[in-house]
Chain A
Amino acid sequence: MQNEPPEVEVVRRLFQAVENRDLTPMYEIYDPAVVIREAESLPYGGEHRGHKGMLEHATGYLRAWDRLQTEDDRRLEPQFFASGDQVFVRWRQKAHADDGRAVDLPAVSVYRLRGGRVIEATMHHFDTAALLGLVAREEGAP
C-alpha cells in the first residue's frame, strides 16, 4: 500500500502470513523478545514470550481454528489504525462447525513495534465465551 506507515506495513504482513498459514515470515515480523497476550480461556491463551512462545500461539491458533474455517473464513478483513509505535487492527474471527453453528465476530488487536518488529501484541475479543463455545465443543467432539 502506498504512503502506508512502515508500522502498518509490518502488521499487514503479519495478517497476510496468518491468512496464508505461513509461519516463516513471523520470525522476521516478531522481535525475539516479543510478548503475545491472548485470553487465557482460549486453548492457545495466556502470555507467550519470544519466538518459541510466538510459535506456540500461532500453532495453537491454527490447531483450534483451521478445521473450522473455510477458505473465506480465513480472510481476516483487517482494518489498520496507526498511532506512533502502535498499530490497532480491527479484524474478524470467522468459523463454521459441521453442525451448522458458526461465529463471525470482530476483534481488535494492539501491536507495539520496536526497530521495525512487533515487540508486544495483545488480542481483545468481542466475545471469548462464544469463541470458546465453538472451539471447545469441536475439540470434545468425536
Chain B
Amino acid sequence: MKLRPPIHMPSLLAGVAGALAARVALSRLLLAKFRRDVAALNEGDYGSILSAYSEDAVLTFADGDHRWAGQHHGKEALERFFKNFVAARIRGDIRELYVAGPPWRLTLIVRFDDRAEDDDRGEIYRNRTVVLVRTRWGRVVEQEDFYENTERIAAFEARLRELGIAPIGD
C-alpha cells in the first residue's frame, strides 16, 4: 500500500493565501495600468493602450450607423478605432475593474463611463459601459463593449458629422 504524503496544512494555507494575495496584487496592478492608459487616451495619446493588445486582437462593438461599428481585427484596425475615439474628444473614466481566471488567460470586466463635450453646447455624449476583456499572457486578445444605450452612439455620430468631425478611415 502506498502512503500518501501528509498534507502540510500550514503550507497549504500559505499557498491559498499567496494565490489570493497575488490575485489582489494583479488586480491592483492592472487597474493602475488601465487608469494610466485611459488618462493618456483622454489626453489624445492612444499608444499606451494600443500596446496592451495582441497583434491578432479582436474588438467587437455594436453595429450601427457610426464610425466604431462592427468588429475590428488586428492592430491597424484598433489604431483607427482609437484615433476616432481621440478625434471625437471622448473622455473615459474607469469606475471598477474585476479580474478572473489564471494569469495566462485572464478575464477583465471594466466598468467604464465615457462622455464627450463640444465647446458650444457642453456635453453631447454620455454613456455607462461595461468592457469585457480576455487576455492571453497579459495581452488583450478579445474585447466586447456593452452600453447602457447604444442609440446614444448613433446620435453622437450625427452630432460629430454636424460639427465636421469626419471619421478616420482606412
| A residues whose Cβ falls under 8 Å from a Cβ of B | 37, 39-41, 81, 83, 86, 88, 90, 106-108, 110, 122-130, 132
30 example contacts (A-B, Cβ-Cβ < 8 A) are as follows: A37-B148, A39-B147, A40-B149, A41-B151, A81-B98, A81-B107, A81-B109, A83-B96, A83-B98, A86-B96, A106-B144, A107-B146, A108-B130, A108-B132, A110-B111, A124-B130, A124-B146, A124-B148, A125-B147, A125-B148, A126-B62, A126-B145, A126-B146, A127-B62, A127-B63, A127-B64, A128-B149, A129-B150, A129-B151, A130-B62
Mask: chain B, 83-127; 1 = CB below 8 Å from A; 0 = not? 000000000000010101000000101010000000000000000
Asked if B128 contacts A122 (CB within 8 A), the reply is: yes
User: CB < 8 Å: which of A40, A90, A125, A127 contacts B132?
Assistant: A90
B129 in contact (CB, < 8 A) = yes
A5 CA to B148 CA in the complex, in Å?
Answer: 26
Report the 6 A-B pairs with minimum CB-CB distance, sorted nearest first: A124-B146, A83-B98, A127-B62, A39-B149, A108-B130, A108-B146
B77 in contact (CB, < 8 A) = no
Distance in angstroms from A65 CB to nearest chain B CB is 18
- State whether A124 and B62 are in contact (beta carbons under 8 Å apart), knowing that A81-B98, A81-B109, A108-B130 are contacts in the complex: no
A88 CA to B110 CA in the complex, in Å?
Answer: 10
Report chain A residues within 8 Å CB of B130. Answer: 88, 108, 110, 124
A106 CA to B129 CA in the complex, in Å?
Answer: 14
Asked if B111 contacts A128 (CB within 8 A), the reply is: no
| B residues whose Cβ falls under 8 Å from a Cβ of A | 62-64, 96, 98, 100, 107, 109, 111, 128-130, 132, 144-151, 154
Distance in angstroms from B52 CB to nearest chain A CB is 20
Report chain A residues within 8 Å CB of B96. Answer: 83, 86
Q: By CB atoms of chain B within 10 A, which of A106, A124, A129 has the most? A: A124
Report chain A residues within 8 Å CB of B149. Answer: 39-41, 125, 128
Report chain A residues within 8 Å CB of B107. Answer: 81
A107 CA to B129 CA in the complex, in Å?
Answer: 11
Asked if B148 contacts A106 (CB within 8 A), the reply is: no
A129 CA to B63 CA in the complex, in Å?
Answer: 9
Of all chain A residues, the one with the shortest Cβ separation from B154 is A129
Asked if A81 contacts B100 (CB within 8 A), the reply is: yes
Report chain B residues within 8 Å CB of A123. Answer: 148
A81 CA to B110 CA in the complex, in Å?
Answer: 12
Q: By CB atoms of chain A within 10 A, which of B109, B144, B149 has the most? A: B149
Supply 7 further A-B pairs (C-beta < 8 A) apart from A108-B109, A124-B128: A39-B150, A108-B130, A108-B146, A123-B148, A124-B147, A127-B150, A129-B151
